[in-house]
Structure 1
């Protein structure tokens, strides 16, 4: 019987898991809240329970699992399958691979969530055919993955791509990492919502319900010509464009791919990103660089995790190696 693969994308807000085939096609998907405050052990147990439920619902015996791939935010030691530090989850030295391997008895591959999304976009999405690109995810946090000369770049200790902790405003507000003014404090989903709430508290009139404020609602307010919504999105786009210009000046990539929940703001956000990017990118390095939405949308992470699962058995051979 043909093997199926399990991909799990662990986010700061939600966990998405999917069963798929060798071509990246998903035939079952499930989403559960992360509830990171419960601690790593409970979160992992809840994920395993949800996987078991999904297998039962689809009539898929666990014996058909060929491998499991997990994308987790933060610093990941992919060789050992250990999450060294995930600030948004408050995880330190969590042996994720061992937990899943001991329960399901199949090979497990754990890596940074955005590197997983980068694999997904390379294999099936907006990175297909490119050898040098940057993949950014905008959600509860902000991270990036890099394909350089056809290989995923992990860095000396697996900590590459933490663009969300690039300091863009040294006098800015404190970040969960301990620094001030990180990109994540300005352009992540929670930061957008916080900025609007703070301005509302200062007395700025806006037709938004504070109790139900979300990035999606801010986008709708932008469409309705709301000045505060425009200010919030423009501010996020400005700092993202500035950070991406610096990243492209350093890495000389051909394309920048942006996914994650905040990216669903679409051209409302991308227009500001592109204009600020053009202000600061070095001519000759940034010429022709495209900033495009992730083709896989918010499924990039879970599809990339499926690719990680397939890599546990050395298949497929055309996925990029990690350096």
Structure 2
């Protein structure tokens, strides 16, 4: 028998309290390694109450307290902080943190992925409760690809097309794809994997977030300081264009540096060990995250995603 949804938490972007309840159902379910999860028919990925408790290293009752005290006039600090993290992440604060799911006569609570991420972040970094090491380990493992994607992959759910959040990336890529002279490499194309990783974690490039400028400036200083032209030959410039809606487009085309392909190995080593490993990227990212008022755990989630090449491990 397919579960049905009896109560949906308020989502300001889609739910009108004057309209009848949406007839949602559980689209996909799975329980890999005993972690109950699924996807609702509107695409909302969720964990069960017991699942999120297990990931946090807690007994089930502690997550139940969050639900029962969520709308209290004087909620406990756990509820207050989880709501703050949701706000910092840019997510709406639902009227309840869960959806009531019925399977036959049995009821269980389904917690949307955004709520789960906020709860897991709180118990991993701030709560100071027993089990924090378990919460931190699972937080890091899930953060490699994001909880939504983790649940989608585990359940075999294929996300429906949404707003094209990759438009800026594709527009910039189309203008730089074949602009670099043969035998040379450009920074934007070389860090495309990084930009993709950031986007998968929710931080998409736009007119105010141009990571290749930060990387390019730092690499140019390293190139000069290490006299790398003596090893690899002189760098060149090429015409680099920004999409018309970028402020930088006012001065298109701009002369950007490109570097001999023989130096590509050195660039990748420098990028991995110096730019990311020595903390320059973390400082740049922290500034951009702060400008977007995202949660304090966001930088760590990004760094985990960037520095871990393998997929999610089994969560405990």
TM-score normalized by structure 1? 0.27
Structure number with higher relative contact order (C-alpha < 8 Å, ≥ 6 residues apart) = 1
- Greater helix content: 2
TM-score normalized by structure 2? 0.27
Asked which structure has the greater CA Rg, the reply is 2
